[in-house]
Amino acid sequence: MSFDLVFFGGTGDLTWRKLMPALFQAFRHGKLPADGRILAVARETQSDEQYRAWLRERFQDVDTPKRPTEEEFSRFAEMLFYRRMDLSQPQDYARLKEWLEERRADTAVLYLATSPHLFPVICEQLGRAGLNDPHIRVVLEKPLGHDLRSAQEINRVVRSVFTEQQAFRIDHYLGKPSVQNLMALRFGNVLFEPLWRRESIANIQITLAESIGVGTRGDFYDRTGALRDMIQNHALQLLTMIAMEPPASNDADAIRDEKLKVLRSLKPFTMESVLRDVVRGQYRAGAIDGKPVPGYLDEQKVPADSQTETFVALRTEVQNWRWAGVPFYLRTGKRLAARDAQIVVNFRPTPHNIFGGVSQPNKLVIKLQPEDGLELHLLAAKGALQHDLLSPVFLDLDFDKAFPTERVGAYERLLLDVIAGRLNLFVRSDEQEQAWRWVEPILEAWSLDTSGPRPYKAGSWGPPAASALVARDGFAWAEEQ
């Protein structure tokens, strides 16, 4: 199969840090179709050879195991091309069309790795240039909008040019092998699905924690914040995959229909419930791995009086028969105690305890990063004494060890899916807008709340109020159990 892949924003951080290395890994693994061209477009003036040399230098910053040898890069570079392009100029789109029609590949992928405010401009120009044939697909990076209104406007413009089947709204968390295993865990095995309901589960916790700060992205992050950056997309997508009903098939729309039902079933926020059920925080100076780190207000390009949140914890419920009354806790933040992304399913305690000592409920831990696997926490008797107390044990499945040669990275998987036209791991427009619709009351409440985010020390697990949020229901975050 022949393909052309065009990166708008071809010299940007996302392209050289994530997308190009992912494509190289697909090339190295022999999974990238051989008859392909990769075109980077940006405002700078460069030749093909200059761009290849520029990218080769950037590849030195890639993790060593993923770094190409000189021979590997030379072969990969034969697929790389560069064009200078002003995204506001119609004639540049006409020249791009000419380049694509030189050979009329089976598939042309237009990847918008630019600031989201440029999406409408680019899509409108693509439409005017006739770059929207059925064989063309457009990829939209998150964040898709700043609020519901801007997201709807982006989708309006995209729909005026492309069909829904041509639009790939990417959320790289959905490409993680561990996230794909959520579907396999639930719908490829008979073990858990009968227990996957309110009668057996006490609460579910989704944590997306980062130990890093905002780094050099202070200007972008201050306009975004943790709610828009992580909750509205990544965390809610994970919640839908945990809470969705079994789809009728593995078809993309069958899956996305069920995810949308979950988003529509989420308990809506009011001004009062935001104050009660949502905690926002902002990190102060502290220490990570024993080294001092600055507070958020001391980071580069962050205003000294910024009220932007770097931490969010919230409580919600899915209001349907399967999940009625089960609290879902979502948490994300920067400069937390560890880099840790996981889903914890806490089961209810046994209805009648016949053993002495503390009865600890079972739990299933779905690890997303840095490890990738499952832990099932149980109780067992040592068998040493007649009245032996139960002790906690756990079954640990490390997917990287179970599948040492089969794993692919998130962007590698998603880029290959775009080229192949598989929409299963991409977000549909109605999903995306419903997620914005759900978080919008939180943003509105914060805009009227002059108290601002709660401070927390870098290297901690966030403001104490986040622990109190869970303790109010008689539960605790995983690290506090």
Q: Which residues are catalytic?
A: 234
The DSSP secondary-structure symbol of 260 reads H
Closest CA to 132 of 179, 92, 164, 176: 164
The DSSP secondary-structure symbol of 362 reads P
Contact between residue 11 and residue 40 where contact means Cβ atoms under 8 Å apart:
yes
The DSSP secondary-structure symbol of 40 reads E
Quote the tokens at residue 313. 């914890």
Compute the distance between CA of residue 449 and CA of residue 472 in angstroms, rounded to an integer. 23
The DSSP secondary-structure symbol of 59 reads G
Compute the distance between CA of residue 240 and CA of residue 259 in angstroms, rounded to an integer. 5
Give the orientation angle of helix 119-128 with respect to helix 90-100, to 10 degrees: 60
Closest CA to 336 of 309, 368, 311, 301: 311
Beta bridge partners of 395: 376
Instruction: For the chain, count helices (H), then strands (E).
Output: 17, 17
What sign results for the dihedral spanned by CA atoms 230, 231, 237, 241?
Answer: positive
Compute the distance between CA of residue 85 and CA of residue 98 in angstroms, rounded to an integer. 13
Q: Which residues contact 204 (CB under 8 A, 6 or more apart)?
A: 242, 243, 326, 327, 328, 329, 343, 344, 345, 346
Closest CA to 380 of 351, 357, 397: 357
